[in-house]
Amino acid sequence: MAADLFVPLDELISTKLGALSLRDDEEMVDFVKGLVEEESFEPEDRKSAILGMLEADEEDETTSNAVDELLGETTAYQDAVAAKRREEEEAKAPAKEEEKAKKPLTPEEEAKRKAELLKAYGYMEEETEAERLEREEAERQMQPDKAYKDPSQMSRKQRKKALEGVDLLALPNLNKHHVQEQERQRREASSSTWHVASSESYR
Output the pLDDT for position 96.
63
Output the pLDDT for position 110.
78
Output the pLDDT for position 174.
53
- Domain regions of the chain by residue span: 9-102, 104-143, 148-203
Mean pLDDT by 10 residues, the chain (203 residues): 72 89 90 88 90 85 90 89 88 69 74 74 60 77 58 64 55 59 78 54 51
Distance CA 51, CA 54 (A): 5
Output the pLDDT for position 55.
87
Output the pLDDT for position 31.
92
Output the pLDDT for position 163.
60
Would you say 81 and 37 are in contact if contact means Cβ atoms under 8 Å apart? no
Burial of 130 (0-12, 13-18, 19+ CB in 10 A): exposed
Distance CA 1, CA 5 (A): 12
Output the pLDDT for position 78.
87
Output the pLDDT for position 152.
61
Give how far Cα 32 sits from Cα of 14, 45, 115, Å.
Answer: 9, 12, 63
Output the pLDDT for position 26.
92
Burial of 64 (0-12, 13-18, 19+ CB in 10 A): middle
